[in-house]
Chains A and B, each alone.
Chain A
Amino acid sequence: MAITKADVIKFLERAADLLRQNRDYLTQLDSAIGDADHGINMDRGFTKIMASLDSVKDKDIGSILKACSMALVSSVGGAAGPLYGTAFMYAAKVLDKKEEITPEELYQALRSALEGIQARGKAVEGEKTMVDAIAPALRAFEEKLQAGASLKEILQAAVQAAEEGVKNTIPMKATKGRASYLGERSIGHQDPGATSSYLLFKAMLDVVEEKGG
């Protein structure tokens, strides 16, 4: 099943909704180990995306994602700004000039987004960051993709893996980002960045499920 430009817009809308609903939750997670602004920042970033969609929604998918990237870096404020900004930027590169994309292309774009995040933030798995949600999600994505599963099945597996990834951040000790200043005390708390990454995967799944497969 091809993913259309309209689906991408729906995904952004759904993501904005989810991040708004979870704004306080994310901020609360961040207040335990960071600077208590992740929910507010993400909400502000995606609100800005919504506001900037009008001027680009007729362009190709790559351009839309590029605009998202700019909206995020200029409004988010915390580390999530440049990190998600880079992620959208790298994904945009893969999807340049595309009007619709295959699950395989979506996977390539997400892969590239993860590479961007890792290049920017220098984080690897196990450091209590968004990488801990995204990397396992992409492994699940790839596995299902190769097994010839439907996009819905693929995303279900990815969301489940991301969710597990988020849970797995709880016993981890942060060595990157603001939480790393807490050292051992960061252990026992769920990582807010991993949580927002999971929500973005959830938004993709919601759109596909709503579309009916």
Chain B
Amino acid sequence: MVGIVIVSHSEKLAEGVVELAKQMTAGKGVVIRGAGGLEDGSLGTSFEKILNAINEAYSEDGLLILMDLGSAIMTTQMCIESLPEDMRAKIKLCNAPLVEGAVAAAAAAAQGLSLDEVKKQAENVPLIKVQEESVEVMEAPRGENVASVDVQLVNPTGLHARPASLFVQLASKFKSKVMVQNISAKKPPADAKSIMDMAVNGTAEKGEWIRITAEGEDAQEAVMVLKELVESGFGELEEDEVKVVVKEEAALSEKGVFRGTGVYPGYVVAPAFVYRREEVKVSASIKGTPEEELKKLEEAIEASIKEVEELKDKLSREGDPKVALIFDFHAMVLKDEKMLNEAKSLINRGLSAGEAISKVLEEWARKLEEQGTDLMKGRASDLRDMARRVLKALEGRKTDGVSVEGKVVLIADELLPSEAASLDRNTIAGIAVSRGGTTSHAAILARMWGIPSVVGLGPGILDIPQGTLVALDAADGKLIVNPSANEIELLERKQRELEVAEEELKGKAMEPALTVDGHRVEVVANVGNIDSVAETIEYGAEGIGLLRTEFLFVDRDEMPSEEEQYQAYKRVAEIMGKRPVVIRTLDVGGDKPLAYVPMEREDNPFLGVRAIRLQRLYPELLKTQIKAILRAGIYGNLKLMLPMVANLEEVRWVKTIVDECKEELKAKGVEFASNIEMGIMVEIPSAALMSDLLAKEVDFFSIGTNDLTQYALACDRGNKNLAYLFDSMDPAVLRLIKLTVDGAHAHGKWVGVCGEMAGEKEAIPVLIGLGVDELSMNAKLIPAAKALIRRISYEELKLLAQDALRLGTAKEVRELVIKRCGL
């Protein structure tokens, strides 16, 4: 009969499991031994104990061993390796769960089954499943006018915030009733036309699956369009989202010291400005008929929407598009019909307009706090903010913000979006907030504006008298009331050290990147909005290698005018000065639809009408943009770049358009830069293959390695089943890059790389070795990339690249780089 050994870290556990297993053997003589704990009874696994148990339980029929945690397996393996060959052959380790597996193995051994059979029975033991209460997943409905599809979230943010807003906007365009259910997390279905229902129930994380169901005359189309929106990743511009991690710890106060969590480091000593929100009263006394109340409410909401949109425009103009986004959400909630209907039914039951709207919004805010994901919890304050705005509007008043004089540490329970947006960041030296939330606006703004801030300090801070001197230690998450001279000196010293350290780091990044043998590689930044232009210089960018212009075009109802674009490019040119800025013309297609450009639905948007192909259909799009770039060119060093070029003919066509643009500007007597360089993105394999001819027509190439990889390997990078294929280090891609570089250099033209690869430490040596002249990456990666370049040798990289081109797989290339460059 097969013997059994139970190996555990705990002597008691091993004994207990042996006892349970023995119950199953009914005195049939199965030998079961436990080997738990160390010799002295403490926790762990003992080589000798296991060896003894094996020797005792071993039989000619074989021995099965079950183990609990990590070292149990490793120690058991060592024991077995020390045994003679013939014994080893008859011992098997078992992957089964300890308790269930031991019981099943004992029963099987008692029946006299073979070792393999005993092992199989133990490993296939059914596990007890505790039934969790779960929401029924809605059936995919069938029938006419009904459509349903399951789709997986691919974008980093998942279905939250901006993507959720886009989803609701698009769903609202259809007549059908549209529902969404997160089937991975088994959440209740949500109304896809209600931003609030979506915020509470409809959220999903990257990788989760949602089921979209529509019912109505345009159900099929609704489902297809929404599916494409999700699959396109909501057109998220490839920017890194930096998550603020806030520990939800109770704030402790000790002798005038409050503790919380720093969200942006720094040290500040300044007077406290305690912000107290003006109470807004809900008027219940003067009440009209339900019809009158409803009319009042609708007008107040109307007025609030107008306020919010004005605020949004103002912020966008002032260059805070991210903050402006917050108000997009506000406008959507105010337009949410579900909300209005709920308020309506409350009014019909006799509540005033004010009572109804505050009740509905408070209810939703509470639901968000209780059920929402972390990202959505932060939105509860938005709803309360909106309730205040509507209530004020009901009284015929406008909502104003926070005004502060002099440099202060702003102390508040939380900052509502309207308040946060109204802050003058030049007067706020630090922010101290009593509540804590991972996505609170205070935290987001603090990071964005670089203001030292601590959140989660507890309500005690609101009692600090106005004007009291406070010291904020945002690195350590502390707020000190009336700091001593020593404490002040300490914090001031730390602040100076912080500044010096930052300067040093940035200082190095400012210098050009030369390899050890003196080969210069230009390191520049990819930028997706005007906001982040200035900071690229701080990270050491020598220019902008890719300015994506989509931010000017998406999420709006009409095309940006030449003037608007001109102003935007001019600002970039002025900020960057002499540094080169490569502006890529609009790169959208069926996956990122624009409201003002008719686009046919395509089965395959990535092989369809996009980028330069779309501009060929609508030359005005391109002409407007080129004219704006030509005009802005006189303020800096701008270059023009065309996306998705497939053949020579496209380049020649654009050249005629550029000439037309110049003629038109000249005719109008408008000043422009006449000698702007023009280059193309090399992201379609045909362009790489034709690079020697294309190089005669243009001034430079920039290789978009993400798309080039996608097109070269015919592999959608978002498709998880093809993850094994998508790797820009594939030798096939490297060979295309080599062709491109050779083609360009033969005609004295330069080549950049602006795909993700350009910032990857394993890829950088290969790219440089292949002869790439410029690397364009997320600005934050620049200091590290420059540091890497400074410790490698160009001559060696050339050899490395030659060897890489001869390898068969991406994995081999990566291994080679790691080995040669000691990464």
Binding site for B on A (CB under 8 A): 35, 37, 41, 70, 73-83, 85-86, 120-121, 139, 143, 176-178
Q: Are B74 and A79 in contact (CB-based, < 8 A)? A: yes
Given contacts A120-B78, A178-B69, 4 further A-B contacts (CB under 8 A): A77-B44, A78-B45, A81-B44, A81-B75
Q: Are B74 and A83 in contact (CB-based, < 8 A)? A: yes
**A82 touching B77 in the complex, CB below 8 Å, given contacts A143-B822, A177-B70:** yes
* Residue among A77, A78, A83, A178 facing the most chain B CB atoms (10 A cut-off): A77
> What separation, in Å, do the CA atoms of A12 and B261 have in the docked complex?
45
A180 to chain B, nearest CB (A): 9
> What separation, in Å, do the CA atoms of A70 and B82 have in the docked complex?
10
**A76 touching B74 in the complex, CB below 8 Å, given contacts A143-B822, A178-B69:** no
Sample (8) of A-B pairs whose CB atoms are under 8 Å apart = A73-B78, A75-B38, A78-B71, A80-B71, A81-B75, A120-B74, A120-B78, A121-B74
**Selected contact of B45 from candidates A77, A120, A178, CB within 8 Å:** A77
Residues of A within 8 A of B77 (CB): 82, 120
- Tally of A-B residue pairs with Cβ under 8 A? 54
**A37 touching B74 in the complex, CB below 8 Å, given contacts A77-B38, A143-B822:** no
Query: Closest A-chain residue to B71, C-beta based?
Result: A79
**Selected contact of B822 from candidates A76, A139, A177, CB within 8 Å:** A139
Binding site for A on B (CB under 8 A): 38, 42-48, 69-71, 74-75, 77-78, 822
Q: Are A41 and B44 in contact (CB-based, < 8 A)? A: yes
> What separation, in Å, do the CA atoms of A35 and B46 have in the docked complex?
16
Query: Closest A-chain residue to B69, C-beta based?
Result: A178
> What separation, in Å, do the CA atoms of A80 and B45 have in the docked complex?
10
Residues of A within 8 A of B78 (CB): 73, 82, 85-86, 120
**Selected contact of A74 from candidates B48, B70, B822, CB within 8 Å:** B48
Residues of A within 8 A of B822 (CB): 139, 143
Residues of A within 8 A of B74 (CB): 79, 81-83, 86, 120-121
Residues of A within 8 A of B47 (CB): 70, 73-74, 81-82, 85
> What separation, in Å, do the CA atoms of A8 and B78 have in the docked complex?
24
Residues of A within 8 A of B46 (CB): 74, 77
> What separation, in Å, do the CA atoms of A41 and B9 have in the docked complex?
13
Query: Closest A-chain residue to B74, C-beta based?
Result: A82
Q: Are A82 and B44 in contact (CB-based, < 8 A)? A: no
Q: Give 5 closest A-B pairs by Cβ, nearest first.
A: A77-B44, A82-B74, A79-B71, A73-B47, A74-B47
Q: Are B43 and A73 in contact (CB-based, < 8 A)? A: no
Residues of B within 8 A of A82 (CB): 47, 71, 74-75, 77-78
Residues of B within 8 A of A70 (CB): 47
Residues of B within 8 A of A78 (CB): 44-45, 71
Residues of A within 8 A of B69 (CB): 178
Q: Are A76 and B48 in contact (CB-based, < 8 A)? A: no
> What separation, in Å, do the CA atoms of A37 and B75 have in the docked complex?
17
Residues of A within 8 A of B45 (CB): 77-78, 81
Q: Are A77 and B70 in contact (CB-based, < 8 A)? A: no
Residues of B within 8 A of A120 (CB): 74, 77-78
> What separation, in Å, do the CA atoms of A120 and B78 have in the docked complex?
9
* Residue among A41, A70, A82, A83 facing the most chain B CB atoms (10 A cut-off): A82
B35 to chain A, nearest CB (A): 12
Residues of B within 8 A of A37 (CB): 43-44
> What separation, in Å, do the CA atoms of A74 and B82 have in the docked complex?
13
Query: Closest B-chain residue to A120, C-beta based?
Result: B74
> What separation, in Å, do the CA atoms of A82 and B42 have in the docked complex?
17
A142 to chain B, nearest CB (A): 10
> What separation, in Å, do the CA atoms of A11 and B812 have in the docked complex?
38
> What separation, in Å, do the CA atoms of A81 and B46 have in the docked complex?
9
A76 to chain B, nearest CB (A): 7
> What separation, in Å, do the CA atoms of A120 and B75 have in the docked complex?
9
Residues of A within 8 A of B75 (CB): 73, 81-82
Query: Closest B-chain residue to A143, C-beta based?
Result: B822
> What separation, in Å, do the CA atoms of A143 and B77 have in the docked complex?
34
Residues of A within 8 A of B43 (CB): 35, 37, 77
Query: Closest B-chain residue to A176, C-beta based?
Result: B70
Residues of B within 8 A of A83 (CB): 74
> What separation, in Å, do the CA atoms of A75 and B37 have in the docked complex?
11
**A79 touching B70 in the complex, CB below 8 Å, given contacts A35-B43, A37-B43:** yes
